[in-house]
Structure 1
Amino acid sequence: MQDQKEFFHFVETLHAENNKHNQVIGSGVYLYSFKFNPNISQEFYEGYLYFERDGQKVQNVAFVKVVGEHADVKAIEVFHRTRTAIDDVVLRPWTYLFSQQKDFSELPHDTELRKGIWSLCYDRFEHNLKDWTKLAKPKPKGIAYNDKLKLPIKTCDGRLNDFWRDSISELISGVGRIHSKGLYHGKLRLRSNYVFINECMKIINVEGSLDELKSDDERCTEKKKDIFDIFWMLDQVFQSLGENKNNWLECRHFFEFVKDSRTLKLRYDDFIKKVAGHPFLLSADKRINLFDDYECKRTDETTGEDIKLVLGSSEFDTFKSWNNAFLASTGTSTNVDNFMLGVYNHGKYSGDVEDLLRYLRNLKHHYHQHGLAAGSMVDVDRGLSKHFGGFLELLYKKLEV
């Protein structure tokens, strides 16, 4: 007990005697400190937490401001709800606190720190998505922000960068786990609620409780809204970085699928499964596996007629007589084209769309038998996009919605 009294006396003394011009030192359950720049508007401050006078720092942390009416109540609620939701996607908060500083001679009188701010204290992160987007946004005169992990968002062969593909899939799964704990986020349109830490994207500030909603329909609506808000945010980020979905075929197909799925009265679990399973968010292996799945359904007595009806619709007219166009465009310049041509010559294919599906299914099986002839599965997938771009996405749209 004596040690505890000494610690709090130490904290109170530091707080009372603080005369620094760019650092807040505060007392509470923790001793905390953070630096600020009064010349810029900040949504979070970097700082430290301590347990005792001569002890080590508990953590390098970030103090994220809580804004709006009743910030004191909101800070406590968001802290406890976020703590409940902690996992691989939701970042850990340490505490909530109120900070106020009146003794800085160089601090403007109207600054928020004189009035006092409520904040949540999280593990230190590198950037929130809002600030990162500003850094990554194309600059005049060719000045570029170098983040090789996350940029460019679209690869040279028109695929989604691995970081974003994996992060989006993890976000969908992570938000699903938030919902399974009786919570919903409520503010996933805000880029400041996404942060980068240890080469991962994480979520902060879980706000809502499903128990406070009156009906199952309201709860389902809020859960779906969380997912739609992720995609709304991504659309805005992609456009900010010059990747307009209207000029990116696969991306456009994906966002159109999300938009279409919003009009359907799908059960929440079905909705999550279909959005997360879209080809835009799949690896090369999983994309090509879809051709195998759909070909099995085409040859199955119970599902075959439905598949054939879809493939015979006018929406697939672009892919009719595909074999003539394929043979005309297939050269001998790459191993992928050689491999694809070899599989084509191995069988007999007509120009109808059903045979295109059969051919693409056979590509997968021939690859596993003679994979070295085609390079990697990524190379095969790249070849499919080159010759039959949009076919898989259209199949998914017609067969899954």
Structure 2
Amino acid sequence: MTDPQIDYAAVFRALPGMVALLTPDLVYADANDDFVRLAGRTREQLLGRYIFDVFPENPNDPAAAGMRETRESMLRVVATGERDTMALLRYDIQDPERPGHWREHYWSPVNAPVRDSEGRVVLVVHRVEEVTELIRARGGPDGDRQARVLEAELYTRSRELQEVNERLRKAHAHEREVALALQAAMLPAPRPTGTHGAAVRYQPAIGALNVCGDWYDLVELPGQGLAVAVGDVVGHGLAAACVMGQLRSALSAACRVAAGPAQALEALGLYARSVDGAESTTVVTTFIDWNSHAITYSCAGHPPPALLHPDGTVTFLDQATDPPLAARPEHVPRPQARILFTEGSTLVLYTDGLIERRTEDIGAGLARLADSLTRHRRSAPEALADALLADLLPPTGTTDDTALIVIRL
């Protein structure tokens, strides 16, 4: 049996309920039959025109906010790539046959994105349900009065919810901006030893507050050595950024005096017990000895670093793995392991946002990382860092932030 040939343009026009498609500039690209009929506009009056030229705000209502709120909702969809459901909205429509006469209307709108193959929003689906008659439809001899009471109550509550929602959006956006600025101020620029190249990246989560828990650090050690670490604090926002700053500074100091990465993580684990919000932080620390061409490493519940050899093979440094910071009820020594490298190898440390996906095993993410490293093995650190982000992160972004360090050995 062959698959039926579906005329999706015909399906769209026959959809029940009012549905329109708009460009990211909020110009009508298409509208279904119900939208044309119930909006009281012809298709020619809609297509190719800016939405608010077709449906301007009612100038006779000084409290009218339907146009502003609809525009803000649609622009959020374009900016974030996420669906936006609006509260009950009053948005009057001008009678096209009676200029200056406006009809009172109440709507329940939903705006949703349509993305292209690269994840960019190319259309906004604007679905609207008119609820004017529902608000007014109250029976009985005193129906008009009851209808107006119900109408006022619904409208007032919807406005209150919308205003609370807007305040929360602005508060969250402000917290995100402050947390990202704080994180950027605390994260160091790469300072590799000698002629060895290094690249660092921090990619915040998109459309979420789950940011500012990841960090990286590079510390020059006595005797031609370099300590490289990445970590991930449980939590988000300003609280996570503050905890991250404390832990990064503590580990940076510990690496300068510890005999090896395991001892540095032991000191950090003891410190984490006294810092609210530091429990269950994951971190991996590597000590690079340029003279002996050796990497000593220790991992506290963190995804394993990857060592890319010049021939394109990849070794994951997973032989010294222990639970996250402060996860055990009592302090115990942490393990560490040592591996040799050849000149021209590349060491890659990262946080779980680079490889983990909720719908799959971590092994699949590690396999993707190894494959990308092999394909780009001849790239310099800066180009390799960009290639890894492009290959491994979804084009629409992730719900977790990502830190990445690439060191040419």
Same fold (TM over 0.5): no
Larger radius of gyration: 2
Q: Hey, which of these two has a bigger chunk of strand by percent?
A: 2
Q: Hey, which of these two has a bigger chunk of helix by percent?
A: 1
Question: Where on the TM-score scale, by shorter chain, does this alignment land: which range?
Answer: under 0.3
